[in-house]
Amino acid sequence: MGLSRRRFTKEFKLDAVQRLELGARLTEVARAFEVSPSVLHRWRREFRQGPGNVFPGQGKRRWEEGQRAQLERKIGQQALEIDFLKGCLQRIEEQRKLQALNGNPLSTHRSKPKRTERKA
């Protein structure tokens, strides 16, 4: 009969890594948690690479590089759009200031047509 692989919970792994991050010796943590030092090295490396999505477990997949790159492209595109719109708004404000100085302020309301009286 073969040996089965042990499975560790996310909380277990985080607890072990946190002890390492607090300055505990690798060998002490390995003995306390009954895992090999190489496993602790791997867990710490994974934790440092992406603490927000570390040890997903239970079939949840880690963020793939493609997804991350796609989100970065989207952020870059939105930043360009924001810069463009800020420039448009700045030009509009400059035009309003110029028209106000010339005595022709822009109206934000539509003028109502003058009512003409009918002659009988």
Domain parsing of the chain, residue ranges: 10-102
Architecture of domain 10-102: Orthogonal Bundle (1.10)
Q: What is the pLDDT of residue 68?
A: 81
Q: What is the pLDDT of residue 75?
A: 94
Which residue type sits at 4? S
Q: For tokens 């560790």, name the residue.
A: 8
List b or e across 25-45, with b for residues whose CB sees 16 or more CB atoms inside 10 angstroms: eeeebbeebebeeeebeebbe
Whole-model pTM over 0.85: no
What is the average per-residue pLDDT within 98-102? Answer: 89
Contact criterion met (CB below 8 Å) for 105 and 96: yes
Asked if residue 27 has pLDDT above 70, the reply is yes
